[in-house]
Amino acid sequence: MIAPMDGSETTRAQVPGTAAFSKFVAVLQIIADAPEELGMAELVARARMPRATVYRIVAALRAEGFLGEADRLVLGPRLISLASQSWAKFDLRALAKDDIQHLRDITGETVHLAVPSDIAMVYIDKLESPQAVRMTSRVGTRVMLHASSVGKAYLAALPDEERAALLSRLKLPRMTPQTITRRKDLEEALKRAQLQGYAVDGEETEPGIQCLGAAILNRSGRPVGAMSISVPKYRFDPAAEARYPELVMACAARISAHYALTQGPAAD
């Protein structure tokens, strides 16, 4: 469920003079996104940089406390401290906490809260299912707009011109055999999401996982994020398929109402 960080996902122009910084950020992102702890050989392979460059970056990050000292690469205490301060100040996460917890409790399934990040979505909160089969995602995971229910819900809620401009930048890589890889098919899925009020990820990001997502809107109706429920396919029976869409839309609507009251239309 992790968006590639090798440059294939975005054509964002690099700011002059920041090439070295961009490499540091890329290494941190690879380590953060990895579902398991990485070793140096794995990091070098994923970073697609010279081995010596990766070793220098890792040494510098460790010296600053951004990486741990263990042989396996993990985020360090300084970075975790900075992140925790950021999450504590994140209004949407705080506003949505009770509503996503209620949804998790009444369904027994995993619930995610996500915000846009360039041409991806980033999970800023996750409430895990208490059941045995769970998701591999975590807070900080980036998911692709075209393959995730939160991404499609966000896209569907954008004004037409903004959505078209964003779609023109997407490359639509295949994540699973079910992933949408043609723009025409994605546009049709977004139209369905607009009509239904929720978007679907039918095993498009992770095999065996069905997701339903809905956009979170501010007072002017602009999307500021999205939330979703993720269900293993074998638990997504006809009863769940009939019940969960309304629960997801109701949850997103409640969060939107809370957000609108506290943030107002100017908080895009």
Structure tokens of 197?
A: 């009020």
Burial of 120 (0-12, 13-18, 19+ CB in 10 A): buried
Q: Residues 11-26: what's their mean pLDDT?
A: 71
Structure tokens of 214?
A: 């809905």
Alpha-carbon distances, residue 79 vs 29, 76, 117, 198 (angstroms): 12, 6, 19, 35
Domain limits, the chain: 19-85, 90-263
Is residue 112 classed as helix, strand or coil in its secondary structure?
strand
Q: Which amino acid is at 199?
A: A
Q: Which fold has domain 90-263?
A: Beta-Lactamase (3.30.450)
Q: CA 9 to CA 121: how far, in whole Å?
A: 12
Residue 33's pLDDT band (boundaries 50, 70, 90)? confident
Say if residue 222's pLDDT is above 60: yes
- Sign of torsion over alpha carbons 145, 115, 206, 97: negative
Alpha-carbon distances, residue 174 vs 7, 73, 142, 204, 231 (angstroms): 16, 28, 15, 8, 21
CATH number for domain 19-85, candidates 3.40.50.2000, 3.30.70.270, 1.10.10.10, 3.40.1190.20: 1.10.10.10
The 8-class DSSP code of residue 9 comes to S
DSSP string, 170-211: -----SSTT---SHHHHHHHHHHHHHHSSEEEESSSSTTEEE
Domains 19-85 and 90-263 share a fold: no
CB 119 within 8 Å of CB 166:
yes
Residue 80's pLDDT band (boundaries 50, 70, 90)? low
Phi, psi of 112 (to 5 degrees): -115, 150
The 8-class DSSP code of residue 3 comes to -
Smallest CA-to-CA distance from 176 within 213, 211, 203, 150 is with 203
CB 227 within 8 Å of CB 150:
yes
> What integer pLDDT is reported at residue 3 of this predicted model?
41
Displacement of CA 93 from its chain's centroid (Å): 14
Residue 184's pLDDT band (boundaries 50, 70, 90)? very high
Alpha-carbon distances, residue 214 vs 53, 107, 114, 131, 263 (angstroms): 42, 16, 10, 23, 19
How large is the greatest C-alpha to C-alpha distance in the chain, in angstroms?
A: 56
Identify which has the larger pLDDT, 59 or 14.
59
Residue 242's pLDDT band (boundaries 50, 70, 90)? very high
The predicted-structure confidence for 137-156, as pLDDT tens digits, reads as follows: 788 888 999 999 999 999 99
Q: Residues 4-26: what's their mean pLDDT?
A: 61
